Amino acid sequence: MSPPQREAVLVTGGAGFIGSNLADRLAGQGYTVRVLDALTRPGVKGNLDWLQRRHGERIVPILADIRDRAQVAQAIDGVGAIFHFAAQVAVTSSLDEPRSDFEINAAGTFELLDAARRQCPDAAILFASTNKVYGDLSAYDFALGEDGYHPTDVELAGRGVSEAAPLGFHTPYGCSKGAADQYVLDFARSYGLRAAVLRMSCIYGQRQLGTEDQGWVAHFLIRALQDAPITIFGDGRQVRDICDVEDTCRAYLAAWREIDSIAGRAFNWGGGPDNAVSLIVLIQEIERLIGRNVQLRHSDWRPGDQRWFVSDTSAIDKALSLTPRIPWREGVRQLAAWLGERRNAPDLRAPLLQQGVSA
């Protein structure tokens, strides 16, 4: 059954990368989309302007911080669904400013949930969690192969990490997102909220203005387009399952449609084993796309960095009847083309220049 048409929905962090893509699809389907965003990240003001140009009055900006209790209460009033992306998203920033990280990710999510249970207890709530809730996976043994790290457990290597894996919060970021993850699940259990969690791996795609700290697929492409050096933390053999934002938006919309059957559950979300790639292999593909070598610099491993993480997405694929993902090489090619075309576009030129792409 499809969600009712034309009701208001809230997307927190709705001017960000995933949020703006999802808001675009929701507005295109006829919903009034309240976009709550503090506009603190470079480029997100351009995303909001883009949404308003495309959809006019269907986009309702709420320029506020997720920590602002009064603004959050106003934003959720009467909505039929809440897609919660507002967050502090970088492990490095969490180590530098752990209090701020906690207040945004854990306390901000609590405020949202508490307001929802009082004001709109029937609203669907979809929370964007992270694979970092599983920690560094130190309980598993890994071997270094030709293309990157892989588990010595053949079954694990073939299917990925399932939701049955033990949680292991590492770094302030892992703790704050993990705490929020668990609060969402408990509010579904304790108060009957129609809430579910998607623990996401590496999402990439259009409108991503990645930095060295977060959004590494786009960051690598942006640096390569400028012929600027890329810093690799660790040995570059780390493996992740990467997933196009198009597939991610489809998953969130499907989760809304099926919220009554999935409420109270957490799902792993990513590209899965078919879209697992190491940093070095991705760089090799970028070199093929741009027709020249990329300059590399190396630095130490960062705290909490996983040698390998690949999501087992079989549970969410079955629950939501999802189709196979966009192959990673095709998705990266599309992102490279979009970044190349947008280097002089008014809405993205300034943030791209800040990230090192020459106009």
**Distances, alpha carbon 205 to alpha carbons 193, 247, 352, in Å:** 31, 10, 15
Query: Quick check: 236 and 216 in contact, CB under 8 A?
Result: no
- What SS3 state is found at 266? strand
Specify whether 173 is catalytic.
yes
**Distances, alpha carbon 34 to alpha carbons 15, 77, 226, 244, 256, in Å:** 10, 11, 36, 24, 16
Q: What distance lies between CA 81 and its chain's CA centroid?
A: 18
Please choose, from the candidates 59, 75, 56, the residue with its C-alpha nearest in 3D space to the C-alpha of residue 67.
75
How far apart (Å, rounded) are the C-alpha atoms in residues 160 and 309?
7
How far apart (Å, rounded) are the C-alpha atoms in residues 156 and 234?
23
Q: How many helices (H) and strands (E) does the chain have?
A: 15, 15
Query: Quick check: 211 and 217 in contact, CB under 8 A?
Result: no
Please choose, from the candidates 36, 46, 161, the residue with its C-alpha nearest in 3D space to the C-alpha of residue 87.
36
How far apart (Å, rounded) are the C-alpha atoms in residues 347 and 245?
19
* Selected catalytic residue, list 31, 134, 149, 173: 173
Query: Quick check: 266 and 130 in contact, CB under 8 A?
Result: no
Taking residue 180's Cβ as centre, other Cβ atoms within 10 Å add up to 28
Beta strands in the chain (DSSP E): 8-12, 32-37, 59-63, 81-84, 124-130, 142-144, 149-151, 194-200, 202-204, 230-233, 239-244, 266-269, 276-278, 296-299, 308-309
DSSP lists the bridge partners of residue 308 as 239
Q: What angle do CA 129, 135, 137 make, to 5 degrees?
A: 125
Which active-site residues does the annotation give? 173
